[in-house]
Amino acid sequence: MKELITIIKEHIDYRKQIFKLAKADLVKTYRGAALGWSWAVIKPVVTIFVYWFAFSIGLRASSTVNGYDYFLWLISGLVPWFYMGDMIVLGTSCIRKYSYLVTKMKFPVSTIPTFVSISNLLINVILLIVVIIIFAIFGYAPDVYMLQIPFYVLLSFIFFTLWGLFSSFLGAISKDFGNLVRSFVTAIFWLSGILWDADKIAIPWLRKFLSLNPVTFLVNGFRNCFINKVWFWEQPKRLLYFGIIVLIMLIASLWAYKKLRKDIADVL
């Protein structure tokens, strides 16, 4: 509890700096590019087009899923993944990336994953708005189920910020851990039901096991808003499982903070 209180206090005391650094992180990412912020949309749009072409045209996958065009089904889960995938990698490397905040100035290390997460989340929120517009263009106007989108955005932010807090300490101590995480990102992507429907797996135990995957839960959650039209309270067991995983991640983050905080500056 002592570590949790310290982290909360650091975030309250440095709240203005956190948002300033989140903005600076965004500016730094696209600085020097002729198209500037446009790349934040261009890159994911190209990725979506490649997957759509590969599955709908090349592999001739089913053109509809649950009555929706496959393209719509795809972007409703793929766009939220862009934030998750980025945070899995960037969350692990953020303390090394901003090592000067730890070694050259008195800045609370626990806030670094937070402003990196905010920076990436802002871009993803813009992309989710684009997804809503695309659905409207296809004839699916926003409805009450889309009111859940901020809820799932919040859950994504909480989980992956905690992941960043946990993994960034380990990534700062060991480069091997960062390399291990990067090597598993592709596997997480393909095994989390982003390009296929995890709820349609015929093997019950495997379907239940995948429901424990936080990425699968969040992707299905966003698809419940856009495609399945299901409220989050209609799947209480999945929400409970996710809550337990978040609690485990919180405990792991506090452990990493307690054990490694004092060694970070020396290692960097």
pLDDT value for 7: 85
First to last CA, the chain: 27
Report, as ranges of residue numbers, the positions in the chain whose pLDDT lies below 50.
none
- Residue-range definition of the domain harbouring residue 241: 2-267
Q: DSSP letter at 61?
A: -
Identify whether the C-beta of residue 135 lies closer than 8 Å to the C-beta of residue 226. yes
Amino acid at 55: F
pLDDT value for 265: 67
pTM above 0.75, yes or no: yes
Identify whether the C-beta of residue 157 lies closer than 8 Å to the C-beta of residue 110. no
- The domain total for the chain is 1
pLDDT value for 246: 95
pLDDT value for 138: 86
pLDDT value for 30: 64
Mark 142-153 as b/e (b = at least 16 C-beta within 10 Å): eeebbebbeebb
> Residue with structure tokens 């300033």?
20
Identify whether the C-beta of residue 115 lies closer than 8 Å to the C-beta of residue 101. no
Helices then strands, counting H and E runs in the chain, come out as: 11, 2
pLDDT value for 53: 76
Q: What are phi and psi of 40, to 5 degrees?
A: -65, -25
H-helix or E-strand containing 246?
Answer: helix 236-267
Angle at 68 between CA 62 and CA 72, to 5 degrees: 90
Average of per-residue pLDDT values in the chain: 85
Task: Calculate the alpha carbon distances from 47 to 51, 68, 161, 170, 268 in Å.
Answer: 6, 20, 24, 30, 35
Which two three-digit tokens encode residue 42? Answer: 């261009």
> Residue with structure tokens 């592709």?
186
pLDDT value for 17: 87
